[in-house]
Amino acid sequence: MNLKDLWVSIIKKLSEELDRAQIITWFKNTAALSFEDGILVIGLPTPFYSNWHMTHFAKMTFKAAQSVEPNVKEVTYSVDNSLNDSDSRTVDILKYFPENQARKLPNKNERVTKEGVVTKIFNQKYTLDNFIIAPENRLAHAACQNVAKYPGQNYNPLFIYGGVGLGKTHLLQGTGNEIMRNDPSRFVVYTTTENFVNEVVGAIQARNMNAIRNKYRRVDCLIIDDVQFIANKDRTQEEFFHTFNALYESGKQIIISSDRPPQELKLLNERLISRFESGMTVDVKMPDYETRLAILHNKCQEAQVFINSDVLEFIAFNVTSSVRSLEGVLKRAIARYELERTSPTIKAIAEMLRETKNEVKMIGFTTQDPAPRCAVTIDSLIDSVSSYFSVPKSEVVGTSRARECMVPRQVIMYLAKTKLRMSLSKIGDLLGNRNHTTVMHSVNRINDQLKNDRQLLRDMNAITKEVGIH
Ligand code: ADP
Ligand code: MG
């Protein structure tokens, strides 16, 4: 087997354990440089890659190499800056790990229906399945699911309101997508209110109101986004009112979104407001921290990139205005990552955030560059700290709030975060199922106490020395 084939087989073996995003990220521009006397030398493009491979993949790479080629006795790494896509030694990773077929579908934004209506519908990326549910949007999502299943039956009209960037368009289009998937013969039209207003204005100019009436009154489901833009547009309101009534009376589903609830819409046509209120009205709000983090993880998976959990936690913690800005920050982080081929650090993200936001909260986070995680495991850390303070391990990892347990537990949290660089939620899971905020406060508290509590400082030094963390 030549070197390249050998390396390809090893990567394939590794892909049984790693997900595609990791393979693409970390094995692009890598090569097997030599294999002599049982020593396989893997070439990596930058020192950062090398660090990463040694701390994350070395063991499994060795195992995979041995299973492919039993003569491998050792795998070592060497940095070779000249390794890049065009180098004949590197593996064309995308060839072996192609994108999922589904992602290659053209993004059809516009469809022309048999009636000749152009509907700007349906960005396929918006589905009800990839909408992440949080307490703040659960009801809206559930209502959409019901409408998707039983259009025109239970919740009509469905009125969703909330601030910008909180998922209204996603829910609307996701519902439309699903209605059509359940029954492709259904005539579903999505339109922005702006578009509707333009159409009405055009029809008035052309003195042809009938065209627009005929067009909209034939639909099975009308989705109208950002209806607040209808305020002050008297003629459009009138037209919409008639369309609404015609559809409603024949049992057709209407879904509306707005940035505020119906009664605050200040419409000239007040009858429209009561029509809006006659069905189901639900709001969407900014999701909580856990959901924000889940959204980030999800988006990374979709984009097939791998970003450190503590960086994602930092973003989720700091970006609280909208899901759109959350995505915006992540997109910039990904762009940077693709440009510089290094995983973004908390420091880099903090700088990015400071450009647009005055206050960036650093509690519990450190801006040091991600040093290689140290070799100490969380288990041995828990063991050592428990025995140092002479408290049974079961109590330390349990739920007791007695002071004898709290101090060692907080010390473990602090060391797990600052030295082992574990994520807050992981630490919380391991120590009595606590949530990330509790962990963050503990880390912060120990951090503060270390400044003036000399006994704690001595304890900490003794522990880190014993455990072997520096
Ligand atoms: P709005 O229409 O309320 O201004 P959007 O629907 O355009 O907001 O949402 C902005 C972005 O955030 C979109 O890319 C959307 O996919 C994403 N998004 C919002 N909420 C969620 C969620 N709960 N789960 C997944 N993605 C979300
Ligand atoms: Mg929108």
Q: What is the CATH number of the domain that holds 187?
A: 3.40.50.300
In a domain, 205, yes or no: yes
Identify the domain containing residue 158 by its residue range.
Answer: 104-283
In a domain, 368, yes or no: no
Tokens standing for residue 26: 């970390």
CA of 326 to the centre of ligand 1 (A): 10
Nearest C-alpha to atom 18 of ligand 1 is from which residue?
Answer: 167
Crossing angle of the two packed helices 289-303 and 436-452, in degrees rounded to 10: 110
Whether 182 and 268 share a structural domain: yes
The atom of ligand 1 lying closest to the CA of 141 is: 23
- Burial (0-12, 13-18, 19+ Cβ within 10 Å), 153: exposed
Whether 78 and 192 share a structural domain: no
Written as one string, the DSSP assignment of 287-304 is: --HHHHHHHHHHHHHHHT
Whether 409 and 433 share a structural domain: yes
Whether 142 and 243 share a structural domain: yes
Whether 37 and 92 share a structural domain: yes
Whether 164 and 309 share a structural domain: no
Whether 178 and 272 share a structural domain: yes
Whether 41 and 60 share a structural domain: yes
CA of 408 to the centre of ligand 2 (A): 48
Q: What is the CATH number of the domain that holds 453?
A: 1.10.1750.10
The atom of ligand 1 lying closest to the CA of 126 is: 16
In the listed set 283, 305, 339, which residue is the last one of a domain according to the structure?
283
Mutate to test the pocket of ligand 1, among 170, 322, 334 (most ligand atoms within 8 A of CB): 170
In the listed set 283, 299, 324, which residue is the last one of a domain according to the structure?
283
At residue 329, the pLDDT reads 93
At residue 163, the pLDDT reads 94
In a domain, 348, yes or no: yes
At residue 153, the pLDDT reads 93
What are 171-230's pLDDT values in tens digits? 999 999 999 889 888 889 999 999 899 988 888 888 888 888 888 888 999 999 999 999
What does the longest C-alpha to C-alpha distance in the chain come to?
A: 88
At residue 107, the pLDDT reads 36
Q: Flag residues of the chain having pLDDT under 70.
A: 99-122, 341, 358, 363-364, 366-375, 470
Ligand 1 interacting residues, C-beta cut-off 6 A: 131-132, 137, 164-170, 287, 295, 323-324, 327
At residue 103, the pLDDT reads 34
Report the DSSP beta bridge partners of residue 159: 256, 281
In a domain, 260, yes or no: yes
Phi first, then psi, for residue 223 (nearest 5°) are: -115, 120
Angle at 81 (CA atoms; ends 65, 308), nearest 5 degrees: 65
In the listed set 229, 250, 283, which residue is the last one of a domain according to the structure?
283
User: Cis ω on the peptide bond leading into residue 157 (within 30° of 0)?
Assistant: yes
In a domain, 137, yes or no: yes
Number of domains in the chain: 4
- Burial (0-12, 13-18, 19+ Cβ within 10 Å), 310: buried
CA of 298 to the centre of ligand 1 (A): 13
Mutate to test the pocket of ligand 1, among 122, 315, 324, 331 (most ligand atoms within 8 A of CB): 324
Q: What is the CATH number of the domain that holds 348?
A: 1.10.8
Whether 240 and 337 share a structural domain: no
> Is-contact 469 376, C-beta < 8 A?
yes
Whether 158 and 122 share a structural domain: yes
In a domain, 433, yes or no: yes
At residue 101, the pLDDT reads 41
At residue 106, the pLDDT reads 36
Distances (CA, A) of 183 to 48, 147, 405, 447: 51, 13, 59, 58
Which ligand ends up closest to the CA of 323? Answer: 1
Whether 118 and 259 share a structural domain: yes
In a domain, 373, yes or no: no
CA of 225 to the centre of ligand 2 (A): 7
Whether 307 and 350 share a structural domain: yes
At residue 108, the pLDDT reads 45
Tokens standing for residue 151: 């259009």
The atom of ligand 1 lying closest to the CA of 171 is: 6
In a domain, 214, yes or no: yes
CA of 174 to the centre of ligand 1 (A): 11
- Its pTM stands at 0.62
Query: Looking at the chain, how many residues does it have?
Result: 470
